[in-house]
Chains A and B, each alone.
Chain A
């Protein structure tokens, strides 16, 4: 029993302790000129879809949930967002080369078609981020239009 008490105490202290580790939240007030929405003509409804379903992990600004205040959840989200932004950052769209844009558009289309994005672990909590059939269709139409634009 004594050993158990010590273990519990250590774990509790550890849990409290990690709450003080500083985090680097993904927050930015500036929307750069290179943002996907500034570079491209995007209809309001599609813009809304993308902002709600993609921008939390694929831009420099995340709408954090309350539980991001708790470690180790915050670390978990930080890793996710870092990885997401490396793959695709809508804020930096204008800086991408045409080749990279084309490659990213292709990936966006196939990820959405196959329901791989947005991640199911994300839509589990963010119910509104789940894309309906119509929402998917209009995003795919936009993606195809942009690809054709690049080819011409």
Chain B
């Protein structure tokens, strides 16, 4: 038989255990928060490591193109940047891959190519150019690299915004480095609330990277480069 006094004691005991549970729960919550923050930091590091890995891939690609570009270059001795054409080609190729990924509405491929573009730009050696060109190239590379890095970690809408920004940078880049490729500067007047957007393609056929399948053939060729 429980006396009233005993009942009270039991109640007090219960409330103490309840309080304990609340304290425990809140400390566990804090602990979890701490762990999340710390693991967030680790996550960052991991992406950095991944960048490193891509970097290596980028240079490998560069080597690969060196041989092909070398063969193609025999006929095009008219521009004096022959030796740097290979690294320029790796920049242009990543850009074109990025363009194709956006045409295909493929966010993941676009992210990959964006990273490859950033790596190719990061390892681009400007020492062979004169002072004025070096200044301009380093400005272009700084901005274009940032675009590439953003494309690597964004949704497709944001990827396209940065890709639009890249258009002018690529045109100016190629104006200095030259290229053995024939490229077409293309323009879609409807992008970004009818402000329009420029891109480069290796084919004169229009395949719109800003709208993808929504409006695949919107746009026109503005200029042939090379």
Partner of B27, one of A11, A18, A79: A11
List of A residues within 8 angstroms of B28 by Cβ:
11
A8 within 8 A of B: yes
Per the bound structure, the CA–CA distance linking A103 and B24 in Å amounts to 50
CB distance from B143 to the nearest CB of A (A): 5
Per the bound structure, the CA–CA distance linking A103 and B143 in Å amounts to 7
List of B residues within 8 angstroms of A72 by Cβ:
33-34, 37-38
Q: Take A8-B23, A106-B165 as given contacts and tell me if A100 and B139 are in contact as well, using a CB distance cutoff of 8 Å.
A: yes
Q: Take A99-B140, A110-B161 as given contacts and tell me if A15 and B30 are in contact as well, using a CB distance cutoff of 8 Å.
A: yes
User: In the complex the two chains form, is B147's CB within 8 Å of A103's CB?
Assistant: yes
User: In the complex the two chains form, is B161's CB within 8 Å of A97's CB?
Assistant: no
User: In the complex the two chains form, is B169's CB within 8 Å of A99's CB?
Assistant: yes
User: In the complex the two chains form, is B37's CB within 8 Å of A75's CB?
Assistant: yes
Per the bound structure, the CA–CA distance linking A8 and B21 in Å amounts to 11
Q: Take A100-B142, A103-B143 as given contacts and tell me if A76 and B37 are in contact as well, using a CB distance cutoff of 8 Å.
A: yes
> How many residues of A sit at the interface, in one of the four size bands?
10 to 19
| Nearest neighbor of A103 in chain B, beta-carbon distance | B143
Per the bound structure, the CA–CA distance linking A147 and B41 in Å amounts to 36
User: In the complex the two chains form, is A8's CB within 8 Å of B27's CB?
Assistant: yes
B146 within 8 A of A: yes
B26-83 contacts to A, CB under 8 A, are 27-28, 30-31, 33-34, 37-38, 40-41, 44
User: In the complex the two chains form, is B143's CB within 8 Å of A99's CB?
Assistant: yes
Partner of B30, one of A11, A75, A76: A11
CB distance from B83 to the nearest CB of A (A): 26
Q: Mark A31-69, 1 if CB is under 8 A from B, else 0.
A: 000000000000000000000000000000000000000
| Residue of A15, A18, A100, A103 with most partner-chain B CB within 10 A | A103
User: In the complex the two chains form, is B27's CB within 8 Å of A15's CB?
Assistant: yes
Per the bound structure, the CA–CA distance linking A76 and B36 in Å amounts to 10
List of A residues within 8 angstroms of B23 by Cβ:
8
A-B contact sample (9 more), CB < 8 A, given A11-B31, A15-B34, A72-B33: A4-B24, A11-B30, A14-B31, A15-B30, A72-B38, A76-B37, A79-B41, A97-B142, A110-B161
Q: List 6 A-B contacts (CB under 8 A).
A: A8-B24, A11-B31, A12-B27, A72-B38, A97-B142, A106-B161
